[in-house]
Structures are given as C-alpha cells and as structure tokens.
C-alpha cells in the first residue's frame, strides 16, 4: 500500500512540475531534454522502490534538474551560441538534387532517409525533384521541392 501512496504523490508532484516547466519540456525534445527525462525517470523510480525512505531527496533532485533545464533555455534565448552548441544547427544535406556526401557522413544520414521523407512529406520520387533536404535540430528531415515539382503537386 505504501508504494501505491508514493506513486500517487509522485504522480501529482510530476504533473505539477511539468506544468510549471512549460510546454517546451514536452514538445520537440532535444538530446538534453531526453537526458533530463531519463534522469527524472530514474529518480522517480528510486522514490517509488528505492531504499531511501524519504521522497524529499527525489523531489529536490527533480526540481534542481528542471531549474537547470530552464536556466539553459534562458541562456539559449539570450546567447545564440549556447543554442548552437547545446541543440545543434540545421544541416543542408542535399542541394539542388545533389547529395552532399561529406555532410551525410557527418550526420549519419543516407539517401534512403532523404527519400523516405521526400515521399512522406511531398510525394516526391527522385532526388532531382528536391531543391533542398535539411536535417533539422530535432532529427527530422525537411524537404523543399523544386518549383516545377511544387506546381505539379499543387495541381493534383
């Protein structure tokens, strides 16, 4: 029964914390957001079944981690450099239908990944139909079709 009560208390606490921390925490997660959530999950697990009978330690750690995350977010807003270092920058991986192999290798993306996004997002079937393919900060691939291809898609 104690585990159930601890679970309910932890549930309410985490709901409040994530509500206070803002929607960004739950929206497009960056690598740092993912790591933060993993640590919070481990801390919550320790609060539920760990040897430490006090949930206070877990609460303090979770609040501290979220304050650190909010502080990093504020730094990224104030200083563009922090955002580039912590979250990365978008990378053009295809330019005017031509693969940029050095960049593809660096970001570990292949032609099949680009074509999958091109088909899913724009209905394109060939690389020469693509003006740009951009690997975004969140790992998604944005496809910008060439003008003539865009007009043909709009006609359909």
User: pLDDT digits over 44-94, tens only?
Assistant: 777 777 666 667 787 888 888 888 888 888 898 899 888 888 778 899 999
95 and 74 fall within a common domain? no
Q: Are residues 76 and 11 in the same domain?
A: yes
Tell me the per-residue pLDDT of 131-150, one tens digit each, with 9 for 90 and over: 999 999 888 899 999 986 55
Residues 48, 107, single domain; the answer is no
The number of domains in the chain is 2
In angstroms, rounded to a whole number, what is the distance separating the alpha carbons of residues 95 and 131? 6
Tell me which residue range forms the domain holding 59.
2-86
pTM, two decimals, is 0.63
Same domain? 37 vs 80: yes
- Report how far residue 97's alpha carbon sits from residue 101's, in angstroms, rounded to the nearest whole number: 12
Radius of gyration of the CA atoms of the chain, in A: 22
Taking CA atoms, 81 is separated from 75, 89, 149, in Å, by: 9, 10, 36
Q: Are residues 64 and 12 in the same domain?
A: yes
Q: From CA 155, how far away is CA 48, in angstroms rounded?
A: 57
Burial of 48: CB neighbours in 10 Å, binned 0-12, 13-18, 19+: middle
> Could you tell me if 16 and 78 lie in one domain?
yes
Residues 10 and 82 in one domain: yes
Residues 65 and 101 in one domain: no
| Cα–Cα distance measured from residue 78 to residue 25, given in angstroms and rounded to the nearest whole number | 18
């Amino acid at each position: 029964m104690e585990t159930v009560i601890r679970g309910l208390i932890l549930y309410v606490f985490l709901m409040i914390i994530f509500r206070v921390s803002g929607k960004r925490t739950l929206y497009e997660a960056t690598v740092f957001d993912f790591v933060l959530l993993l640590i919070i999950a481990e801390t919550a697990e320790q609060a539920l079944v760990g040897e430490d009978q006090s949930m206070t330690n877990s609460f303090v750690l979770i609040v501290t981690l979220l304050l650190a995350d909010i502080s990093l977010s504020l730094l990224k807003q104030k200083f563009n450099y922090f955002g580039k270092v912590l979250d990365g920058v978008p990378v053009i991986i295809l330019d005017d239908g031509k693969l940029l192999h050095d960049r593809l290798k660096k970001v570990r993306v292949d032609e099949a990944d680009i074509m999958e996004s091109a088909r899913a997002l724009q209905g394109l079937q060939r690389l020469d139909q693509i003006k740009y393919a951009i690997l975004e900060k969140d790992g998604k691939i944005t496809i910008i079709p060439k003008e003539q291809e865009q007009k043909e898609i709009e006609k359909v």
